[in-house]
Structure 1
Amino acid sequence: METLLYAAELVREDGAYKLVVQDVVRDTVQVTPVPESAVARLPVFLSVLSSKLGPASAGGRR
């Protein structure tokens, strides 16, 4: 059985990006500004992370 622990969204508002992370267990939310350059590199970062964690986690939630 899966249990959702965190939920994350990358949001663009008025041309600025922010990462919104909800801690479902503790019912808290953190918001952090994210530079556009980091947003552009996000697919590469996720690919590297998946390759380091191995095939069991590569599929992830969709």
Structure 2
Amino acid sequence: MSKVGHDHPSVVTVVGDQAANVVGVHRGRAGPFAMVRPVDGGDEWQAPPENVAQRKGGKHERE
């Protein structure tokens, strides 16, 4: 998994939230946070950008 650092990945990119150990879809930004939604739908959550990294291959399973 490649680290994104403080730059946010593109919207609708499959990302992993390393702190929460979940995979989701990057939906945009809310202030300094990345907004991530579960791949299969559900409530968005805010993740610090240093915890979010783009997934290679678009894999949707837990890390």
TM range (shorter): 0.3 to 0.5
**Larger proportion of strand:** 2
Larger Rg: 1
TM-score norm. by structure 1 comes to 0.34
Structure with higher helix content: 1
